[in-house]
């Protein structure tokens, strides 16, 4: 299994806040890497550094052996990295199909308009938006918009998909459906780097997990290893001794 994405000692500082601190991680071809950590750990910033929303202060990002550090988002997209946003960003005035067509037209495939429309139709069907193709993106429900984010990213036929909390805000039935979709995507050969707060989902989907705390890597391993790591438990729940010490009146 070869390395697809290599993030090497990247740092990013916003004013007084060290958002990401010399973080390294790798994503191999065909795997799902979960990226977890408490709120404010810098997870979304890592995504922004990978896909070029901002350049890192230091460190390097390699994709498929090529140095893509500091390239603007539209060039990163061409290399084959697609992203589904945590806060959905639909092109509201365009139809669902057109949204996906943008992904197919300008992503890695760089298709002509006609072919792009075909690819977009397939992806919209795959994530279950087939019956809403001609609706305006702005009129979709939250779950629908999340699916649109995925369909749009997939329409580019990326090699790597960045999923930023695609399960957040979904009801249990929708969550089940989405987990199934993520599996299907991995089975189609696309590597996935996912940020997720819903532990059940991360644990069942991820091949490996990286835990981030205060911008730095706290732990890495299989889901089981990470779950058993006392430092991880501390970062999430606070110091276990303190928890034990605070005898709650019952």
Partner 1 sequence: MWRRPFPWFIIAAALLYALYPYFTDDVGLRESLLLAAVYIILASNLNLMIGYAGYVNFGNIVFFGLGGYVCLYLVTALHWHVILSAFVAGIAVSAVALLFGLGILRLRGAFFALATIGVNQAIQQLVVNFEPWGGATGIYLSLDSYGPLGGPMQALWTTYLLIVALTAASLLASYAIKNSKFGLGLLAIGQNEDAAAVLGVPTPLYKALVYSASAFLPAVAGGLYFFKSGIIEPTSAFNLQTSIEAIVMVMLGGSGTILGPALGAFLYEELRGFLLTAQSFSQFQLVIAGALLLLIVQFVPGGLLGWLHQRWPRTRRWLE
**Residue 169 touches partner 1, criterion: CB under 8 A:** no
Contact 164, 86 (CB under 8 A): yes
Query: To 5 degrees, how large is the angle CA 151–CA 153–CA 154?
Result: 65
For residue 191, give the DSSP letter. Answer: E
Smallest separation, CB 87 to partner 1 (Å): 10
**Residue 236 touches partner 1, criterion: CB under 8 A:** no
CA separation for the pair 216, 37 (Å, rounded): 10
The residue (of 148 and 212) whose beta carbon lies closer to partner 1 is 148
For residue 207, give the DSSP letter. Answer: S
Which residue in the block uniquely carries the two structure tokens 């943008």?
A: 102
**Residue 73 touches partner 1, criterion: CB under 8 A:** yes
Residue from the set 44, 45, 51, 175 that interacts with partner 1 by CB under 8 A: 51
Given the rule CB under 8 A, which of 76-84, 185-193, 232-240, 241-249 is the region that contacts partner 1? 76-84
Q: Which of residues 147-166 bind partner 1 (CB under 8 A)?
A: 152-153, 156
Residue from the set 78, 183, 186, 217 that interacts with partner 1 by CB under 8 A: 78
- How many amino acids of this chain bind partner 1 (CB under 8 A)? 32
Q: Cα–Cα distances in Å, from 178 out to 121, 169, 210?
A: 19, 12, 21
Q: What Rg value do the Cα atoms of the chain yield, rounded?
A: 19
| 246 DSSP β-pair partners | none
Residues at the site binding partner 1, with contacts judged by CB under 8 A: 51, 53, 72-75, 77-78, 82-83, 85, 89-94, 98, 101-103, 105-108, 110, 112-113, 116, 152-153, 156
């Amino acid at each position: 299994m070869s390395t697809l994405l290599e993030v090497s000692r990247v740092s990013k500082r916003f004013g007084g806040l060290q958002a990401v601190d010399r973080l390294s991680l790798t994503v191999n071809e065909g795997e799902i890497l979960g990226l977890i950590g408490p709120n404010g750990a810098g997870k979304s910033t890592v995504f922004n550094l990978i896909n070029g929303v901002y350049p890192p202060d230091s460190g390097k990002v390699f994709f498929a052996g090529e140095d893509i550090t500091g390239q603007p988002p539209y060039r990163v997209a061409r290399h084959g990295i697609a992203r589904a946003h945590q806060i959905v960003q639909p092109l509201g005035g365009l139809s669902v199909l057109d949204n996906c067509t943008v992904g197919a037209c300008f992503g890695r495939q760089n298709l002509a308009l006609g072919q792009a429309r075909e690819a977009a139709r397939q992806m919209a069907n795959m994530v279950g938006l087939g019956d809403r193709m001609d609706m305006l993106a702005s009129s979709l429900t939250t779950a629908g918009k999340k699916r649109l984010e995925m369909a749009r990213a997939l329409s580019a036929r990326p090699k790597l998909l960045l999923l930023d909390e695609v399960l957040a805000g979904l009801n249990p039935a929708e969550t089940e459906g989405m987990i199934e979709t993520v599996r299907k995507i991995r089975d189609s050969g696309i590597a996935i780097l996912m940020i997720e707060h819903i532990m059940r989902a991360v644990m069942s989907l991820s091949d490996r997990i990286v835990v981030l705390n205060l911008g730095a890597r706290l732990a890495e391993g299989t889901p089981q290893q990470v779950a058993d790591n006392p430092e991880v438990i501390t970062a999430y729940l606070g110091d276990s001794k303190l928890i034990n010490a605070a005898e709650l009146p019952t």
